[in-house]
Structure 1
Amino acid sequence: MAGRGNPPEGPDDASGGDDEYRDEYRSVVFDESFVKAAQLQEFSARERMEDEEHAAVRQRASMSSATGDDDGTEDGTDTGYERSTITASRQGIVLVLLIVLAFGTAIYMGIRNPYQAPAEPAVEPMRASLLPLAPRDEVPGATPSDLYEHSPAARFRTGADGVNLPPARRTAHFSESQVLSALTAAKEYVVESSLDPAVLTGNSDRTVRILLDPAQQAQFDQSMDNPRNDGRHSATGWMIRFDPSKTVLADPRVRVQGTLAVQESGPDALEVVADHVFVYAVRAPDVGEGDDADERSSLFTVRREVRFQIDREDLRRQQLAVRQVAMRAGPLPCSADMSATLRPLLVGEKAKDDGGAGTDPYARGREAASMCGVLATSAQPSPEKPAE
Structure 2
Amino acid sequence: MGDPREPPEGAPEGGSGNEDEYRSVVFDESFVRAARIQELSARERLGGGFGRATRPRIRLGPLGTVPRQAVALLLVIVLAFAAAVYFGISSPSREGTRPAGSQLTVSLMALSPTATVQPVGDPAHPFAALPVGYGDGSAGLGVPAAAATAHFTKIEVTRALDTVQRYLVASSLAPRALTQGDTGDVRTFVTPGELAQYDQSMATASDDQHHAATGWIVRFDPAQVALATASVKVTGDVRVDESGDGTLRISTDHTFVYALRAAGAPESAPVTLQSVRRELHFDLDRGDIAAGQLRLVDSVLQSGPTACGVPLANYLQPILAAPGGTAPPAPPAIDPGNHARPAWQQCGVLANG
> Cα–Cα, structure 1 residues 164 and 366, in superposed 2: closer, same or farther, change >3 Å?
same
Name the SS for the 1:341 alignment partner. coil
After the TM superposition, which of the residue ranges 102-111 and 338-347 deviates more from structure 2? 102-111
Amino acid at match of 2:307: P
- The CA distance in 1 between the partners of 2:184 and 2:83, in whole Å, is 44
Distance across 2 between alignment mates of 1:346 and 1:94: 84
Distance 1:94 1:206, change over 3 A: closer
Q: What residue number does 1:184 align with?
A: 162
**Contact kept in structure 2, 1:147 and 1:299, CA below 8 Å:** yes
Corresponding residue for residue 356 of structure 1? 333
The aligned runs of 1:1-388 (5 Å cut-off) are 121-123=97-99, 125-142=103-120, 143-144=122-123, 146-152=125-131, 154-290=132-268, 293=269, 296-347=270-321, 348-360=325-337, 362-363=339-340, 366=342, 370-377=345-352
Deviates more, 1:121-130 or 1:313-322: 121-130
| CA shift digits 1:336-356 (9 cap, x unpaired) | 011111110111222211243
- Taking the aligned partners of 1:230 and 1:302, their CA distance within structure 2 comes to 20
What letter is aligned with 2:335?
A: G
Q: Deviations for 1:230-270, whole angstroms, at most 9, x for unmatched residues? A: 11111111101111222111111000111111111112211
Distance in 2, Cα, partners of 1:298 & 1:105 = 68
1:99: how far off?
11
Distance, in Å, in 2 between the alignment partners of 1:228 and 1:304 is 18
Distance across 1 between alignment mates of 2:213 and 2:98: 23
Contact 2:228-2:267 within 8 A present in 1 as well:
no
Contact 1:302 1:329 in 2 (8 A): yes
What is the CA–CA distance in structure 2 between the aligned matches of 1:106 and 1:219, rounded to whole Å?
Answer: 37
Which range is displaced more, 170-179 or 335-344?
170-179
Structure 2 counterpart of 1:15:
none
Q: Whose helix proportion is higher, 1 or 2?
A: 1
Determine if contact 1:141/1:147 at 8 Å carries over to the other structure.
no
- For the pair shown, the structure with the greater C-alpha radius of gyration is 1
Q: CA RMSD in A?
A: 3.1
Contact preservation (8 Å) 1:272, 1:308: yes
8 Å contact kept, 2:117–2:328: no
**1:151 positional shift:** 2.5
Unaligned runs of 5+ residues in structure 2 are 5-41, 43-66
Distance 2:179 2:223 in 1: 10
Is the CA contact 1:132–1:330 (under 8 Å) kept in the aligned structure 2?
A: yes
Inter-partner Cα distance in structure 2 for 1:207 and 1:109 = 37
Amino acid across the alignment from 1:128: V
State how far apart, in whole Å, the 2-side matches of 1:144 and 1:207 are.
30
Structure 1 residue ranges (4+ consecutive) displaced by more than 3 angstroms after TM superposition: 92-112, 116-121, 144-147, 359-363
> What residue number does 1:16 align with?
none
CA contact (8 A) 2:160 2:284 kept: yes
Q: Secondary structure at the match of 2:346?
A: coil
Q: Letter of the aligned partner of 1:376 in structure 2?
A: A
Counterpart CA distance in 2 for 1:213 and 1:119 is: 11
Structure 1 match to 2:57: none
Deviation at 1:96, TM superposition (A): 8.7
Decide whether aligned partners of structure 1 residues 201 and 367 sit closer, same or farther in structure 2, where only a CA change above 3 A counts.
farther
Shift of 1:374: 0.2
In structure 1, runs of 5+ residues without a counterpart are 1-46, 48-78, 80-91, 381-388
Q: Whole-Å Cα distance in 2 between the matches of residues 356 and 102 of structure 1?
A: 74
Q: What amino acid maps onto 1:329 in structure 2?
A: S
Measured against aligned partners, the alpha-carbon deviations of 1:259-305 in whole angstroms (never above 9, x if no partner) come to 11111111221111111110001112254234xx2xx1111001101
